[in-house]
Structures are given as C-alpha cells and as structure tokens.
Chains A and B, each alone.
Chain A
Amino acid sequence: MNWTGKDMDTYLQQKEYIDTLVIPLVKVQTNMDNIKTSASSTEFIMHLASLIETQFKGRMMFAPPVVYTSKTDIVQMTHTTLQEFVDTTFTHVFFLTTDHAWNEIDMVGQVIWMPSIPLESMDASLRQSILEDQLRQLLPKFTEQWSKQ
C-alpha cells in the first residue's frame, strides 16, 4: 500500500492483514562532492521501495521517505521521529536505507541496509532484473520478522 488516500482507506478496513510499515530513510546531501551520489542512491532506494510495494502490496504500508541531511543528529532522530513510527499500531516496522551510518548506532525497529547501485545508466530491463535480485536478498529479512510473531 502506498501513502495515498485510496490505499489508506483499504488499510483502515484491513488493519489485521496490513501489519507492516516501511519507511525509506533518505539522506539528502547538497554539497557538490556528494550531490550526485545522494541523488543516485535516492533513485535506487525509491525504485526498490516501489518494487517491494508491488510484490507485498497486501501486507506492507509504505510511508513517504523520511529525509535528513549531513547535519542531522541521527541518534537524536532515532529517539524522536523513528521511535514514533515504531510506536504505531503496526506490528513490524522496517527502515529502508542505503546510508550505513544507521548500522552503527542503536536502532529502533528493523533497519534494512542496501548498498546503493547506480541505476541511471541502465536500460529498463537490466534495471528491473538488478532490482529483483536485490529484492530476493531482502525477502528472508522480511519473512523472518513475519514468522517471529
């Protein structure tokens, strides 16, 4: 499900089935050295999110990406914003990111870190197969959490 009015109506009626919230964490860097990498990894994570969404539409709700910058105190952010997501009625909360800084701190919820792959120079079919490969690697992480409850 996407964060749209129509999908949210479905969610409100089917709460017992849609028990997973996924939030993409996106680092927006605007200094000239990192601006390209930042754009490219944002593109990757959003494409990946949309692929996961089509596969698991009936169980996952995708929130709009949560954006932060280089100056953001991510430890602080974890305890405020991200904690608030974890405290919702969703049983499983996943954060999807390409920034490995999240791996190095104590996190709430489940962090799914993926190395960013530059997709901009690929044609559509290659891009699709690469994203599907990434999704196959992610699958066990989701199913493992789902089977825990």
Chain B
Amino acid sequence: MSSKVSRRQFLSYTLMGVGGFMVSATVMPMVRFAVDPVLQTKGEGEFIPTSQKVAELTETPVRVDFTIKDRKDAWYKSDVSDTAWVYKEGDQVIALSPVCKHLGCTVNWEGDEHKNEFFCPCHAGRYEKNGKNIPGTPPLGPLDEYMVEEVDGYLHIGKTVPNTLV
C-alpha cells in the first residue's frame, strides 16, 4: 500500500511540475538575453572568398574583385563590391587597397604609362609596387594593405590594415 501515491502527493507533484515549467519559461529567456553578447559572432576579421587562385598569382599585381555580402549601414543592407591589387613577393601574397590616400580615388597599376607603379588618375598621385607613396606627388601616405588567407588554393581577403611593407 505504501507504494501507492496518495491524492495529496499527486496534487503537490503536479503543482510543482507545472510551477517549475512556468518559472523556467520566464527565467530562460532572461538568461539567454544576458549571455547573448558573449555568443555573438564578430563581423569584423571575417575573410571574404575570391575567385583568384593563389597558385596563379605572379609578381605583377592583378586586380581581384570581391563582394561583401549584406553589409549593414543602419537599416540598409547591401552587397558592396570591393577591389584589391594582389601580387606575390617570394612566397608571400600581398593585397593592396586601391583607395588613394590623397582624397580616395581608385588607383590603377601602370595607369598612364608609369611603369611598375600605381597611378591615381585624379591628381597624378603615384605609388611604388609595395604601396609606398612617391614623394612630390599628392598622396601623403602608403596604400593600405588587406589581410589575406589561403583557403583550398583560393585567395580570401580580410579587413584593411596600415601598410606593413614600407
């Protein structure tokens, strides 16, 4: 007879079960909200895949286009296409930002017949191959560099950092 559950016991178990369920329903979301910032993945430092094979790179800078998907600018989401000038120095892959350090135009490799240099068409700014600005032309600093990574033979491009080669 002692193994039988009494009416009083049955009721208290049921109440405890339901009560516990209701408490957890309110507490769980609070806990989740509290730890949410820790669980967020960081958007920066991400590498974006390109269609450029690392093995095909040479010492001559080539233009590599890549697209940043879903960049958020306040509530406005858009895909942003970006460009890099990429070449190999020994075994090291170097990706330079094409944004001129003068006023932000886009520079070109060997534009306007300047051999072995980057050229900015806006105010004839010039940079050496490693991004170093040539004195006497308008730019005041070297071209920025992109973080690079090789994944399965393809080039992945990360965020820009100040030039480390100059």
Q: How far is the CA of A132 from the CA of B84 in the complex (A)?
A: 16
Contact status A56-B121, CB under 8 Å? yes
Contact status B105-A57, CB under 8 Å? yes
Q: Is B88 an interface residue (CB 8 A)?
A: no
Q: Is A14 an interface residue (CB 8 A)?
A: yes
Q: Can you list, as one digit per residue, whether each of B41-73 has a CB less than 8 Å from chain A (1) or not (0)? A: 000000000000000000000000101000000
Contact status A58-B79, CB under 8 Å? no
Q: How far is the CA of A143 from the CA of B103 in the complex (A)?
A: 18
Q: How far is the CA of A124 from the CA of B122 in the complex (A)?
A: 27
Contact status A58-B123, CB under 8 Å? yes
Q: How far is the CA of A128 from the CA of B79 in the complex (A)?
A: 12
Contact status B103-A124, CB under 8 Å? no
Contact status A18-B106, CB under 8 Å? no
B134 CB to closest chain A CB (Å) equals 17
Q: Do A124 and B102 contact each other (CB < 8 Å), given the known contacts A17-B123, A58-B123, A59-B122?
A: no
Q: Which chain B residues border A128 with CB–CB below 8 Å?
A: 65, 81
Q: Which chain B residues border A14 with CB–CB below 8 Å?
A: 103
Write the chain B residue with the least CB distance to A20.
B122
Write the chain A residue with the least CB distance to B65.
A128
- Additional A-B contacts beyond A10-B103, A56-B122, A124-B81 (6; CB < 8 A): A17-B102, A55-B105, A57-B106, A58-B102, A128-B81, A139-B121
- What would 10 A/B residue contacts be, using CB atoms closer than 8 Å? A17-B122, A17-B138, A55-B121, A56-B106, A56-B122, A58-B100, A58-B120, A58-B122, A58-B123, A124-B81
Q: How far is the CA of A54 from the CA of B79 in the complex (A)?
A: 15
Q: Is B19 an interface residue (CB 8 A)?
A: no
Q: How far is the CA of A116 from the CA of B102 in the complex (A)?
A: 33
Q: Is B104 an interface residue (CB 8 A)?
A: yes
B64 CB to closest chain A CB (Å) equals 13
Q: Which chain B residues border A10 with CB–CB below 8 Å?
A: 103
- Complex interface residues of chain B between 95 and 146 (CB less than 8 A to chain A): 100, 102-106, 120-123, 138
Q: Can you list, as one digit per residue, whether each of A10-33 has a CB less than 8 Å from chain B (1) or not (0)? A: 100010011000000000000000
Q: Do A124 and B67 contact each other (CB < 8 Å), given the known contacts A18-B103, A56-B105, A58-B105?
A: yes
Contact status B123-A143, CB under 8 Å? no
Q: Which chain B residues border A139 with CB–CB below 8 Å?
A: 121
Contact status A57-B81, CB under 8 Å? no
